[in-house]
Amino acid sequence: MSTATAHKSDGPVLDWAAGHGPVTGALSATTGAFAIATTGAATAMPPGWALAVGAAGALGHTIVGLRLRNAGRTLTTRAASWLIGAGWTTWAMTHGPLTWAALGSLATIGVGIGAAARSAALYEEAREEEAHATEQRQIATDLSAERRTIAAEWADRIQRVCGITVRVLGVEMWPTGAGFSLDAELPPGGATWSKVAAESARLSADARLPHGCTATAVPGIDQGRVIIDVTTVNVLEETRTYPSEYGPLSVLTGIPWGYRTNAEPVLAYLREQCALVVGPTGSGKTNMVHSILAGFARAQDVLTWVIDLNAGSAGLPWVLPALSGEIQSEEGKPVRPGVDWLAGTFEEAAAMLDAAVRIAKHRKMAYQDVLAKANTDLLPIDRRTPQIMLVIDEGAEILVSTDRQMRKLAEKILEVIRIARAMGLRTVLTALGATGSVLGNLMIRREAKVRVALTGGETEGMDLSKMFPGTRGLRVDQAPFKGAGFMSTPESPVALFKAWRIKPNQIREITAATSERHPVLDVVSAKAAGPAYARRWDTDRTAWMREHTPDAGSSGDGLKLTALSRQDTAEPVSPEEAMLRAFREQIDEQFDTAPDPNTPEADSADPAAGGGGLNLSALRGEQDSPAQREALALLLAAGPEGTGASAIARALADAHGTTRQTVVGWLKTWVNDRTAVRVGEGTKARYVHARHAPQTPED
């Protein structure tokens, strides 16, 4: 290495690390040698130096080669070429490098080195690369010929059909093989991209595209350009199952809802938007709702609340397998349901919507400092402060119902839509039809810009121009397949799309795979939501689930609980009680919850009600002081690192005047009831929330 440094400072730069092919490799050695010889001669460098430089070159190449893990054969070839070069340099310096003899001999050496390199593995690599490049060049030539033909054909077609003379600047073939995109320049004189868009159907017909394929125009890079996406293969015709990769998602980076005609996924960004999914009976709406719930279940910062007054069928497959203990996580642990709250009755739906409104209002007050700190009026959503997505099946019908009860729900739904955007609560409403009365609602028109119309070939109640105002040329018969239709978002203009097919086995898989990933409602929101939320899995409140479970008829006694079969059934236990008991056990086991003597359940005069509550540790002690709740939130937020009494006390001192001693008391209680664990000793002692605690053998 010292040679290299010395050489660097006082000689020509020899690039040892540069990638050399058989020809450039030889050139490098020979030109390097030539440079040294000329420099050497000009500066009267003693000829011995050239030999040293050659040796350095050989060494340098060897070292670099070793680093690059070149084959031994290649290394030898490289090192040898430097030594030969050094020999020439010595000779040339004594005779003058600019003589023909010297130059000729150098060229010979170069050829010799090249010949040697040719036999080395390095050359093989280079040859492969070269062959690959030639092949690519050939493909590119063929492709550009094809592209030129397409460009000419479509410029001609647009002229004929739209009466506009465009210049096609580029043709991009889609990697999925399902079509291509044209980038065209509009002629001067006021032609707009929408003029081409309006003729989409006629362009498709003129191009004789297969059924279900379209030529869709969208704005180009500026207003004088237009992009035309042409599908040539109908991927909507095929059934594609929900992608089997269930990795984490975020509401901030978009949730995939299906795929476009080019087979690319289409994302819904719902941090600020609500959504409206219209699909008549049989169009694949239920399936679409499941794939939407799948996306939300995968998200790390979303809690899904489902309202389905139609026997809760939209949410049950996400709840029952988990509640009944039918599925387990990979580690054999019980799993949490794939949705966080399911309402199948009017009362439950009303309770849920009231809780949502309370959360929105309370978050607005309680998170003022967070908003100020982040300098935003949009609550920063993350795992600790999750977004609540309310999925309301046939919610649009609730909105336009004249029934007195439904009107009440409608008002609450509209209130959530109206007040809760900034505070991270958004809705997905489905509708059987895109009727004027649904879309006539200003709130829906303004807030629900993520829109889906599942056509499935249905024409009834399907006014696409109302769903997607300002667009023409959309025809219901372009997507006559179940689960297919049109989707538009503020980021992705309306175009054909299809939902993935998702079956119960995948719903179970996703429930299991995402169980650990679901966030827990932040303490501020849980407090606002109150017992209506904390006791959402109570026996009386979930009784309807059993009534509507498909198993109820076949087995005669409701849910087939694995827990039930294990039970000592000396006393007859109702299936729903058993289900809830099993679920509570699972939750307790997983979240380290313990019966809290201070919870309302324990005070309740009704022992049945007392046994029916769910007591998540994050919600413990509704009556705890705000300071104590905040301390618990800090402990939870500290994650596996944990925190200490002093740090918590410091954080609470200003707002609540809490002393370290008080915090020490709380921490002791939490350690005793296993809400927290103490790790480390003495000054290193820290407290970790049970949810983040390292597993102990005892656990």
- Binding residue ranges for ATP: 279-286
Q: Minimal CB distance to ligand ATP: which residue?
A: 483
Closest to ligand ATP by CB, 122 or 499: 499
Closest to ligand ATP by CB, 308 or 447: 308
Instruction: For residue 331, give every residue at least 6 positions away whose Cβ sits within 8 Å of its Cβ, in sequence order, or none.
Output: none
Rounded to the nearest whole angstrom, what is the least distance from the CB of residue 656 to ligand ATP in the complex? 51
Site size with ligand ATP, rule: CB under 6 A: 14
- Looking at residues 324 to 343 of the shown chain, list those that interact with ligand ATP (rule: CB under 6 A): none
Calpha distance 627→620 (Å, rounded): 14
Q: What x-and-dash track marks residues 404-423 binding ligand ATP by CB under 6 A?
A: --------------------
Helix axes 121-162 and 22-42, enclosed angle (nearest 10): 110
Calpha distance 392→403 (Å, rounded): 17
Rounded to the nearest whole angstrom, what is the least distance from the CB of residue 455 to ligand ATP in the complex? 11
Rounded to the nearest whole angstrom, what is the least distance from the CB of residue 519 to ligand ATP in the complex? 28
Q: Residue 483 interacts with ligand ATP (CB under 6 A)? A: yes
Q: Residue 319 interacts with ligand ATP (CB under 6 A)? A: no
Choose one: 39-47, 97-105, 389-397, 493-501; the region binding ligand ATP (CB under 6 A).
493-501
Calpha distance 3→61 (Å, rounded): 12
Choose one: 229-237, 300-308, 370-378, 494-502; the region binding ligand ATP (CB under 6 A).
494-502
* DSSP 8-class letter at 170: E
Q: Residue 459 interacts with ligand ATP (CB under 6 A)? A: no
Q: What x-and-dash track marks residues 553-592 binding ligand ATP by CB under 6 A?
A: ----------------------------------------
The 3-class SS string of 124-140 reads HHHHHHHHHHHHHHHHH
The CA-atom distances, in angstroms, between 434 and each of 8, 278, 618 are 75, 6, 41
Calpha distance 471→617 (Å, rounded): 51
Closest to ligand ATP by CB, 86 or 233: 233
Q: How far is CA 260 from the centre of its chain?
A: 17
Rounded to the nearest whole angstrom, what is the least distance from the CB of residue 439 to ligand ATP in the complex? 19
Instruction: For residue 148, give every residue at least 6 positions away whose Cβ sits within 8 Å of its Cβ, in sequence order, or none.
Output: none
Q: Residue 22 interacts with ligand ATP (CB under 6 A)? A: no
Helix axes 100-118 and 22-42, enclosed angle (nearest 10): 150
Calpha distance 401→660 (Å, rounded): 56
Q: Which of 28, 77, 283, 506 binds ligand ATP (CB under 6 A)?
A: 283
Rounded to the nearest whole angstrom, what is the least distance from the CB of residue 352 to ligand ATP in the complex? 22
Bridge partners, residue 266, by sequence = 258
The CA-atom distances, in angstroms, between 318 and each of 9, 287, 305, 392, 537 are 70, 13, 11, 15, 14
Rounded to the nearest whole angstrom, what is the least distance from the CB of residue 630 to ligand ATP in the complex? 45
Calpha distance 287→456 (Å, rounded): 12
- Where on the phi/psi map is residue 22: left (φ > 0), alpha (ψ -120 to 50), or beta? alpha
**CB atoms near residue 581 (< 10 Å):** 18
Q: Which of 499, 507, 578, 652 binds ligand ATP (CB under 6 A)?
A: 499
Closest to ligand ATP by CB, 242 or 544: 242
Closest to ligand ATP by CB, 283 or 617: 283
Q: Residue 89 interacts with ligand ATP (CB under 6 A)? A: no
Instruction: For residue 436, give every residue at least 6 positions away whose Cβ sits within 8 Å of its Cβ, in sequence order, or none.
Output: 463, 466
Closest to ligand ATP by CB, 12 or 457: 457
Tokens of 198: 């309006």
Q: Residue 284 interacts with ligand ATP (CB under 6 A)? A: yes
CB-based contact 436:284 (threshold 8 Å): no
Q: Residue 504 interacts with ligand ATP (CB under 6 A)? A: no
Rounded to the nearest whole angstrom, what is the least distance from the CB of residue 543 to ligand ATP in the complex? 24
Rounded to the nearest whole angstrom, what is the least distance from the CB of residue 641 to ligand ATP in the complex? 44
Closest to ligand ATP by CB, 306 or 638: 306
- Where on the phi/psi map is residue 329: left (φ > 0), alpha (ψ -120 to 50), or beta? beta
Q: Residue 501 interacts with ligand ATP (CB under 6 A)? A: yes
Bridge partners, residue 255, by sequence = 268
Closest to ligand ATP by CB, 388 or 487: 487
What sign does the CA torsion over 155, 200, 276, 283 have? negative
Q: Which of 141, 239, 368, 598 binds ligand ATP (CB under 6 A)?
A: 239
Rounded to the nearest whole angstrom, what is the least distance from the CB of residue 448 to ligand ATP in the complex? 19
Rounded to the nearest whole angstrom, what is the least distance from the CB of residue 517 to ligand ATP in the complex? 25
Rounded to the nearest whole angstrom, what is the least distance from the CB of residue 235 to ligand ATP in the complex? 11
Closest to ligand ATP by CB, 85 or 338: 338
CB-based contact 281:454 (threshold 8 Å): no
Place of tokens 């300098």: 375
Q: Which of 287, 514, 593, 599 binds ligand ATP (CB under 6 A)?
A: 287
Closest to ligand ATP by CB, 86 or 510: 510
Q: What x-and-dash track marks residues 260-279 binding ligand ATP by CB under 6 A?
A: -------------------x
Identify the CA nearest to 325 among candidates 511, 543, 570: 511
Closest to ligand ATP by CB, 21 or 483: 483
Instruction: For residue 179, give every residue at least 6 positions away whose Cβ sits within 8 Å of its Cβ, in sequence order, or none.
Output: 213, 229, 230, 231, 232, 233, 261, 262
Q: Which of 104, 163, 282, 597 binds ligand ATP (CB under 6 A)?
A: 282
Rounded to the nearest whole angstrom, what is the least distance from the CB of residue 507 to ligand ATP in the complex? 13
- Looking at residues 631 to 670 of the shown chain, list those that interact with ligand ATP (rule: CB under 6 A): none
Choose one: 264-272, 283-291, 470-478, 654-662; the region binding ligand ATP (CB under 6 A).
283-291
Q: Residue 281 interacts with ligand ATP (CB under 6 A)? A: yes
- Where on the phi/psi map is residue 383: left (φ > 0), alpha (ψ -120 to 50), or beta? alpha
CB-based contact 1:57 (threshold 8 Å): no
The CA-atom distances, in angstroms, between 197 and each of 162, 194, 233, 236, 274 are 9, 5, 20, 21, 26
Write phi, then psi, for 251 (nearest 5 degrees). -65, -20
Q: Residue 285 interacts with ligand ATP (CB under 6 A)? A: yes
Q: Residue 212 interacts with ligand ATP (CB under 6 A)? A: no
Place of tokens 């080395």: 120
Rounded to the nearest whole angstrom, what is the least distance from the CB of residue 241 to ligand ATP in the complex? 8
Closest to ligand ATP by CB, 311 or 637: 311
Rounded to the nearest whole angstrom, what is the least distance from the CB of residue 487 to ligand ATP in the complex? 12
Write phi, then psi, for 228 (nearest 5 degrees). -120, 115
Closest to ligand ATP by CB, 315 or 483: 483
**Neighbour-count burial of 488, counting CB atoms closer than 10 A to its CB (0-12 exposed, 13-18 middle, 19+ buried):** buried
Q: Which of 30, 90, 214, 286 binds ligand ATP (CB under 6 A)?
A: 286
Place of tokens 């073939």: 173
Please report, as ranges, the residues that interact with ligand ATP according to CB under 6 A.
239, 279, 281-287, 482-483, 498-499, 501
